[in-house]
Structure 1
């Protein structure tokens, strides 16, 4: 199943007109922040669909190049409005990754509401987790594979976080964050064994040392 706007259209037909899709990336990595994106769009979804090149999918099902292609399209589409929020590795260590991902999602939604000047009728979340905000919320398992707003959010969040890890590589080149983006690959564990733990590693995660 590929994400489209059928779920959003159903909610609109039931009376919920101002929707936001949310997704977080960077939950599993050993280093860096967890990042969330919140995305909203007008009800005329056909405008967006007509400008997409190829099939929209969640970020995990796309190559880095295709994610970048979609990201550029999203950035140029006035029909799409979004906000991004990240929670650092230090806060992750303090409150745990589960709460950190919820906090990132909440911050992204609140930033987008501030930008829009109104509250959302429904917040659509990818996964099983709800956030600490007094809004109608729907959590959909694999929502980024089924719901277009969540798929767009996943791509924006992924490209944003990858950029953060590429910048981290420039500061800590020995760890090769540009290659693995902080995930627990064999190369990454080898670099931790060789160079020790960097300032952006998550101490609350298993680092192999």
Structure 2
């Protein structure tokens, strides 16, 4: 009976994930019906941390993308994000990463740095698309962002990482890319808990700053109340 129950739950879970996948593909399917073929979903991670870069990803998925479980990266475990990252990279028509470090963030503010990272991600994805298929991205879906400098048809979706398969995929790619960088930074700066807090303002992180000062990857404009 236990095995039967487990099998039923597994089957129900698979049905749920398949339905969720089709739900997330609705916007892209509508755009394809309008004649757009290479639709890039764009998302970012790292606007809030005290340290490290802001990272953006742009992902173009094929119409027959069939990887189950892709969703808003915040809803997924670290293990699942890593598994899906590999599947997305393998199945994507193209993808690109963009990032801006703490110096750029301090110089022009986090919003403008985020926009630049997104533009860079789109440009890198388009380079891959041109090299592979000699095509260009013809529509961009942003998660709650509008960037006039991107001279392509575009749409801003509130909570886009929960509504669009392309944006959800981009959220995972951006999150895993940044998390891996912060784990690497932890090996260089071991006193701030970067391997677990990824640069966000946890108790351990603040204690590390008080005891050891700031590192070259800290955002000084985010620490005005601490550093004088």
Question: Counterpart of 1:173 in 2: which secondary structure?
Answer: coil
**What is the TM-score of this pair, normalised by structure 1?**
0.91
**What is the TM-score of this pair, normalised by structure 2?**
0.84
Matched, 1:168 2:168: no
Asked if the contact 1:106–1:131 (Cα under 8 Å) also holds between the matched residues in 2, the reply is no
Question: Counterpart of 1:132 in 2: which secondary structure?
Answer: coil
- Partner Cα separation in structure 2 for residue 20 and residue 66 of structure 1: 22
Please identify the structure whose Cα radius of gyration is greater. 2
Asked if the contact 1:35–1:104 (Cα under 8 Å) also holds between the matched residues in 2, the reply is yes
Shift of 1:134: 1.1
Q: Which deviates more, 11-20 or 150-159?
A: 11-20
Q: Residue in 2 aligned with 1:28?
A: 48
- Structure 1 spans left out of the alignment, 5+ residues: none
- Partner Cα separation in structure 2 for residue 136 and residue 179 of structure 1: 38
Q: Deviations over 1:84-109 (max 9, x none)?
A: 11111111101100000000000010
Asked if the contact 1:102–1:131 (Cα under 8 Å) also holds between the matched residues in 2, the reply is no
Figure out how many residues of one structure are paired with residues of the other and give that number: 202
Matched, 1:143 2:160: yes
Shift of 1:119: 2.9
- Structure 2 spans left out of the alignment, 5+ residues: 1-18
Matched, 1:90 2:130: no
> Superposition RMSD on alpha carbons, in Å?
1.7
Runs of 4+ that moved beyond 3 A: none
Structure number with higher relative contact order (C-alpha < 8 Å, ≥ 6 residues apart): 1
Q: In the TM superposition, what are the counterparts of 1:14-53 in structure 2 within 5 Å?
A: 14-43=34-63, 45=64, 48-49=65-66, 52-53=67-68
